[in-house]
Chain A
């Protein structure tokens, strides 16, 4: 049984993202590293070693970090809602440290059934990827 979900993740807590080599160009994380439906990360609080985010068997040989304080500013998209990113604590039985970074609509929140236009997805993914700092 996994631990209880925490309603908030501290803004200064590092979140570690395991990366495929294709998702990074030199020291810059590419937008392809972002899953717009929820980018899985490890919380520093529960797994403080960034290497825990690596998963060589699944091709994740690099690690980048970001914290909520550094998430992109709210993104106002053309003829659409305003989006911003929020980290959700989502521990599961295999990973106590699991969380997801999701785009939410301002004033509405998270809705898994909401469809984001492809051009806006591209902009959101790049905005978040630009904030990720490669560590390993």
Chain B
């Protein structure tokens, strides 16, 4: 779902009166969080987009309503973005925990988890928010970025990129296009310049497809 730098407007009459200054941010485990500030000066709220068709409106993280989701282009001001991003950091820590991997046969090691946390922050610093964080069967952690040419209700994503924190302290960028049976994996080291190169490559892959 392509929601970045959008405004979400509810189709419910009671909610249409509220103009949400929002940006699409924190995304984890298949749920898209849109966080914003209420223009009337009330407290920040979060909208949780569950799937492509409905949203849940949260205020102070308590679900207060649901309605169909409608998206129109919007780019928030720098101040609003900063405020929202600050709020995201706060909420993300509380509401977007890493997946529960305690039941896995090979849960990620402490080293991989620490590595994944580093990458998570580097991604956020570059405004890259994954669609899904996936602990793998063999004890690694991947951040998925699904890429769509449109927002149609397809049942799977033809193109994706994943960035994986591997057990041997390497970062693996996998880009794939299922429709063309294409996949390519590139390995990066933990050196800062190498990780930067990985994230730059990731950005180049997903940005053109996510631009409004």
- Answer yes or no: A40 CB below 8 A from chain B CBs: yes
Residue pair B137, A33 in contact (C-beta under 8 Å): yes
- Residues from chain B with a CB closer than 8 A to the CB of A57 are 103
Report how far A62 CA is from B202 CA in the complex, Å.
30
B139: nearest residue on chain A (CB-CB)?
A35
Report how far A91 CA is from B13 CA in the complex, Å.
60
Residue pair A23, B134 in contact (C-beta under 8 Å): yes
Known: A118-B170, A121-B166, A122-B174. A36 touches B156 (CB 8 A): no
- Answer yes or no: A28 CB below 8 A from chain B CBs: yes
- Residues from chain B with a CB closer than 8 A to the CB of A59 are 100, 103-104
- Residues from chain B with a CB closer than 8 A to the CB of A130 are 178
B61 to chain A, nearest CB (A): 23
Report how far A115 CA is from B138 CA in the complex, Å.
13
The 28 listed contacts between A and B (C-beta, < 8 Å) are: A20-B104, A20-B135, A22-B135, A25-B132, A25-B160, A28-B156, A30-B134, A32-B137, A32-B142, A34-B136, A35-B105, A35-B136, A35-B137, A35-B138, A36-B138, A37-B106, A40-B105, A118-B172, A119-B172, A119-B186, A119-B187, A121-B166, A123-B174, A125-B136, A126-B174, A126-B176, A127-B183, A130-B178
Give the interface residue-count category, chain A: 20 to 34
- Residues from chain B with a CB closer than 8 A to the CB of A126 are 174, 176, 183, 185
**B106, B136, B178: residue with the most chain A Cβ atoms closer than 10 Å:** B136
Q: Main SS of the interface on chain A? A: helix
B82 to chain A, nearest CB (A): 31
- Residues from chain A with a CB closer than 8 A to the CB of B186 are 119
B166 to chain A, nearest CB (A): 4
Known: A35-B138, A119-B172, A122-B164. A22 touches B132 (CB 8 A): yes
Residue pair B137, A34 in contact (C-beta under 8 Å): yes
**B136, B137, B174: residue with the most chain A Cβ atoms closer than 10 Å:** B137
Residues of A near any B CB (own CB < 8 A): 20-23, 25-28, 30-37, 39-40, 57-59, 115, 117-123, 125-127, 130
Residue pair B162, A27 in contact (C-beta under 8 Å): no
Apart from the given pairs A20-B104, A32-B136, 16 other A-B contacts in the complex at a CB distance below 8 Å: A22-B99, A22-B132, A22-B133, A25-B146, A27-B155, A28-B157, A32-B137, A32-B142, A35-B137, A36-B138, A117-B187, A118-B164, A122-B172, A123-B184, A126-B183, A130-B178
- Answer yes or no: B154 CB below 8 A from chain A CBs: yes
Report how far A89 CA is from B73 CA in the complex, Å.
55
Report how far A29 CA is from B154 CA in the complex, Å.
15
Report how far A130 CA is from B134 CA in the complex, Å.
17
B162: nearest residue on chain A (CB-CB)?
A31
Query: B167-183: which have CB < 8 Å to A?
Result: 168, 170, 172, 174, 176, 178, 183
